[in-house]
Structure 1
């Protein structure tokens, strides 16, 4: 698959937000995109499945997670980090 990690993460987030990937920018938050807590959890599951990684995310207390969900860019960076750690 020739998609970059960034493109794949944006596609997953766009699907949850019912938007086109081109409508999702790295500086947006999930809240900006209209993604609620259920959509966030579904996005995390989709990311785990797409990249075959385990995301350290606490759905009961997202602010207590080691996975930064503050923006689309932060999510992309966190996924890249998890992939790099897993590959090492």
Structure 2
């Protein structure tokens, strides 16, 4: 099962969304999933995909954005785990941060 199919399954079962509306370009907000709902979804994603989310906030407006984010985290974290160190480091942040979000770092 692909990442997209697994994510769709979560959205249908947990958010009662119509499967036919869950296209990669569908905007989560337009589907009724607000920012709090996205955070809850990401916690479910952690469990479903056996990944750890970084603490940085990310902007994931569409289902396709969420799929890409999951795929990147899975690839990075599973590669680190299989490298033999046994230590999983948070991935480098390459997804655009949400406007106004503060990471606590200064330039």
Runs of 4+ in 1 over 2 A off after TM superposition: 13-17, 20-23
Output the aligned Cα RMSD. 1.8
2 CA distance for matches of 1:8 and 1:86? 18
8 A contact 1:29–1:72 mirrored in 2: yes
Aligned residues between the structures? 79
Larger relative contact order (CA 8 Å, sep ≥ 6): 1
1:77 aligned residue: 68
CA drift of 1:16 comes to 4.3
2 CA distance for matches of 1:82 and 1:14? 23
Task: Give the TM-score taking structure 1 as reference length.
Answer: 0.75
Give structure 2 stretches of 5+ with no counterpart. Answer: 80-107
1:40 aligned residue: 38
1:52 aligned residue: 50
**Higher Cα radius of gyration:** 2
User: Could you say if the C-alpha distance between residues 37 and 15 of structure 1 is closer, same or farther in structure 2, counting changes exceeding 3 Å?
Assistant: farther
Give structure 1 stretches of 5+ with no counterpart. Answer: 59-64
Task: Give the TM-score taking structure 2 as reference length.
Answer: 0.64
8 A contact 1:16–1:39 mirrored in 2: no
